[in-house]
Structure 1
Amino acid sequence: MNHFTLTAILVSKDAIRFTPAGIPVMHCQLEHSGQANEVGVARKIQMSVEAIAIGPIQKDLEQMDLGAQAVFEGFLAPKTLRNQRLVFHITHIQLKN
């Protein structure tokens, strides 16, 4: 199963573009900072993640303010067939208060 959940801050978002089929797409950058337990030891994690919102979820991302924190859910996939760098495809956003 390919399911990814990340609590992160929205740090940038690109302008909306459309696929040839007319589906809205928005690229963004998320930043996460926290810790994870690895072999019984707390490990500090700070990372930036390239993400994309396609279709109806794009509207939720568009309405978010930069600096807003949310729980993002989705899956990881290669950027393109030739570029195997992973991109987080957002399928659900839950804003944190």
Structure 2
Amino acid sequence: MNHFTLTARLVAKDAIRFTPAGIPVMHCQLEHAGEANEVGVARKIQMSVEAIAIGPIQKGIEQMDLGAKAVFEGFLAPKTLRNQRLVFHITHIQLKD
């Protein structure tokens, strides 16, 4: 199963573009800082994640202010067939206080 959940802040978003079929697409950048337990030891993690919102979920990213914190859910997929760098495809957003 390919399911990814990340609590992060929206730190950058590109202008909306449209696929040839007219579907809205927005690329964005998310930043996460926190801790994870690895073999019984707390490990500090700070990372930046390239993400994309396609279709109706794009509206959620468009309306979010930069710096807003949310729980993002979705899946990871290669950027393109030739570029195997992973991109987070957002399918659900839940804003955090």
Residue by residue over 1:45-64, the C-alpha shift from the partner in whole angstroms, topping out at 9 and shown as x without a partner, is: 00000000000000011000
Identity %: 92
| SS of residue matched to 1:20 | coil
Deviations 1:37-91 (A, max 9, x none): 0000000000000000000000011000000000000000000000000000000
TM-score under structure 2 length normalisation: 1.00
Q: Does 1:40 align with 2:57?
A: no
Match of 1:10 in 2: 10
Distance in 1 (alpha carbons) for counterparts of 2:3 and 2:61: 19
Say how many residue pairs are matched: 97
**Using the alignment, how far apart are the partners of 2:59 and 2:30 within structure 1?**
17
Distance (Å, rounded) in 2 between the aligned partners of 1:90 and 1:61 = 9
Query: Is there any run of 5+ residues in structure 2 with no aligned partner, and where?
Result: none
Distance in 2 (alpha carbons) for counterparts of 1:60 and 1:53: 9
Q: CA RMSD in A?
A: 0.2
Residue aligned with 2:74, SS: strand
The runs of at least 4 consecutive aligned structure 1 residues that moved more than 3 Å come to: none
